[in-house]
Amino acid sequence: MNDTVKDDQLLGKIAAEQAISYKQVKSVISLLNEGNTVPFIARYRKEMTGALDEVQIRNIMDRWQYIQNLEQRKEEVLRIIAEQGKLTAELSQSITNAEKLQEVEDLYRPYKQKRRTKATIAKERGLEPFAKWLMTFSKESIDEKAREFLSEEKEVPTIEDAIAGAKDIVAEWVSDDADSRKWIRKETFRSGAVVSVVKDAEKDEKNVYEMYYEYEEPVNKIVPHRSLALNRGEKEDILRVSIKMNSDLIMSYLAKKWIQKEHSPVAPVVNEAIEDSYKRLIQPSIEREIRSELTEKAEEQAIHIFSENLRNLLLQPPLKGKVVIGVDPAYRTGCKLAVVDETGKVLKIDVIYPHPPVSKTKEAREKFINLLREYKVEMAAIGNGTASRETEQFVADILKEMKDEIFYLIVNEAGASVYSASDLAREEFPNFHVEERSAVSIARRLQDPLAELVKIDPKSVGVGQYQHDVSQKRLSESLHFVVETAVNRVGVNVNTASSSLLQYVAGLNKTAASNIVKKREEEGKFTSRVQLKKVPRLGAKTYEQAIGFLRVLDGKQPLDRTGIHPENYDEVKKLLVSLGFTTDDLGSEELMAALSGLELKSVAGELAIGELTLKDIIDALVRPERDPRDDLPRPLLKKDVLKLEDLKAGMELQGTVRNVVDFGAFVDIGVKQDGLVHISKLSNRFVKHPLDIVSVGDVVTVWVDSVDMKKGRVALTMLAPS
């Protein structure tokens, strides 16, 4: 079979798996091979892909990579077995048809170069012919046959030694059989159980793993977060975890498969070899494989949840055009304050001591009120760390007295301290203390969460579940993809963006992003997209990939402030002229009315562009600076404080979803601890996963279910009381 036919088959396979057309898959693979980025393909090559989104394109890319690796491994295995002169037509066919890497490895197992095992030692001692004789189930005396293989020189002095060695060889044959392994693996998944017992309770000071001290759950029922919890308990040496299998059933299967003549005098010896094979070789190996597979599935789920939460966090609506005071709360060291203008520029840095042990409350009030008045502050952003609730009370009391209406918001400051101590923050604010930088970050997170959060390692933003227990490489790759998708979906103002934000733009890397900022600082604002061609390390391909996502808002060319790619400018101008408009009319009511009456198919034909591209162009002409985040619900603004003691069962509240996990959602209702809405309390209908109902940043109506004052826990429900 030639490579083209083979590739076509593989592409067809992916198309069937992803429920899309062969043509779409082929287009995506060829676009990726040409060096195009996922965001660019998703936004500017819709005609070729049938408007597949970034996630679908990434799935095709990952699957193609897996299949390529699988094919490569098959070729390697076939070559090694052929070199040994042991490749039969049947084996070749089995390897070629294998769908998973695991199947290929099972088939290769008997031919693999092994480390020195009991079986290899027995073979060195000349006992393989004896093992083969055992498998003929002869009626001859086993002891008589064993005598033929006794040898002082080869260290087989007794009949027992000869039989033991032959049994070791048979045990390895049984263990190496691909069909047996496949059946046992499948049966263990079907009827096995994950079992955990306590190993060292003293190490579990907070009784975190108490429910797992004596625990059992079917392998096929265990949910991902429990797999990760058991792994962690085992890693911390608190639990002992194992897979319990139905060994009688498995032994019965193996005996039936391997013992051809039950009444042969050899049968009991072969049966012992089978039992040894299962207990010593197969069972530990299958257990490792199943634990590994459960972990892999659990990691996939944890990474998926983290990614979805991060995406929703990054796409939180910005509060544009507001002067904000950021407050980084603390007790002893004081609350650091940062006033920033509408563009995020720092106007003032200060510190107040409203809380014990210093308790300069009167002075703190005066200073805070003066800052609000002097800088005409419109919003307060309070970090949710230590002393947050006391600071919230302090701020809320002041805001009630102000003549102008000023709202405040509790901002999730996860990762702010990571940013504040980073090289990037030192570069941005060389003369500020760590906490002062943190106050700036908190204020800016309110103004534009995306622009601020990209400065932080995504793993530090506090919206995950067991993120430290998963493959850090896979987690980083997945989170990078989420940030990249969010940044390109929103678009970037090339004249205000930090290099941290620019490096996520399709096609750009750290160096190109830094060079854009450097050129901007040296020569002033960019006035057109074309100027970016002169940026060092920004070649033709990089320019093509990135430019549509980079906006020049007040430049010479009005189209530069839209998401329209320069490759379509000529067609856009032609369209505008045909309607009697120019590029200066972008976003006007008149242009909007003229565009709404267009017949897409015929206009696309006249302009020789695709209908999907034309539709995107029209959207951009109608709303030139459209930010997809503007269509989302606004954050929940607050004027007053709630205490844990104020909560009563049945009380109705509004809250913001802060984190979504496998078993529910944590909602900020304005008290010290986020309340948990358990998965069973999210909806009246069956909920497969909380993400199907809520997302990070959602503003939801909840009712208090119960309050545990001692543990400071609040249980919430989204089911309205009847």
Domains of the chain: 3-111 (1.10.10.650), 118-305 (1.10.3500.10), 324-447 (3.30.420.140), 644-717 (2.40.50.140)
Give the integer Cα–Cα distance in Å for 31 and 116.
49
Please report the pLDDT score of residue 1 as a whole number: 52
Q: Is the pLDDT of residue 525 over 70?
A: yes
Give me 487's structure tokens: 């940044």
pLDDT tens track for 40-76: 999 999 999 999 999 999 999 999 999 999 999 999 9
Q: What is the CA radius of gyration of the chain?
A: 33
Q: Is 99 helix (H, G, I), strand (E, B) or coil?
A: coil
DSSP, res 115: -
Half-sphere exposure of 613 (CA within 13 A, CB side): 25
Q: Are 684 and 677 in contact (CB under 8 A)?
A: no
Please give the Cα distance from 254 to 275 (Å, whole number).
9
For the four alpha carbons of 494, 500, 501 and 506, in that order, the dihedral sign comes to positive
316-334: pLDDT as tens digits: 999 888 999 999 999 999 9
The pLDDT assigned to 113 comes to 83
Strands 193-198 and 214-218: antiparallel
pLDDT of the residue at 461: 84
Residue 421: name the closest of 446, 444, 441 by CA.
441
b/e map of 185-217 (b: 16 or more CB within 10 Å)? bebbbeebbbbbebbeeeebeeeebeebbebeb
Picking from 3-17, 53-67, 163-177, 603-617, which range would have the lowest pLDDT averaged per residue?
A: 3-17
pTM: 0.87
Instruction: Name which of 638, 642, 677 is nearest 657 in CA terms.
Output: 677
Compute the average pLDDT of residues 217-229: 94
H-helix segments, 100-223: 101-108, 118-124, 128-134, 142-147, 159-176, 178-191
Q: In the predicted model, what is the mean pLDDT of residues 557-562?
A: 97
Q: Which residue has the higher pLDDT, 641 or 293?
A: 293
| Model confidence at 641: pLDDT above 90 | no
As to burial, measured by CB atoms within 10 angstroms (0-12 exposed, 13-18 middle, 19+ buried), residue 147 is exposed
Backbone φ and ψ of 441, nearest 5°:
-60, -40
User: Maximum distance among all alpha carbons in the chain?
Assistant: 107
Q: Is the pLDDT of residue 706 over 70?
A: yes
Look at residue 389 in the predicted model and tell me its pLDDT.
84
Q: Residue type at 223?
A: V
What mean pLDDT is predicted for residues 154-174?
96
- 689: Cβ contacts below 8 Å, ≥ 6 apart: 662, 679
Query: Which pair of tokens denotes residue 73?
Result: 């491994």
| Averaged pLDDT for residues 115-120 | 90
pLDDT at 490 over 90: yes
Q: pLDDT class for 416, splitting at 50, 70, 90?
A: confident
Q: For residue 470, name the pLDDT band (cuts at 50, 70, 90).
A: confident
* Type of residue found at 571: E
Give the tokens for residue 206. Answer: 């907070």
Q: Is 325 helix (H, G, I), strand (E, B) or coil?
A: strand
Q: Around 345, how many Cα atoms within 13 Å sit in the side-chain half-sphere? A: 6
* CB burial readout 81-120, b (16+ within 10 A) else e: beeeeebeeebbebbeebeeeebbbbbbbbbeeeeeebbe
pLDDT, residue 448, reads 92
- CB neighbour class for 683 (10 Å; exposed up to 12, middle 13-18, buried from 19): middle
pLDDT recorded at residue 644: 83
**What was the pLDDT predicted at 712?**
83
Which DSSP category does 438 fall into?
A: H
Strands 652-661 and 664-668: antiparallel
* pLDDT number for residue 121: 94
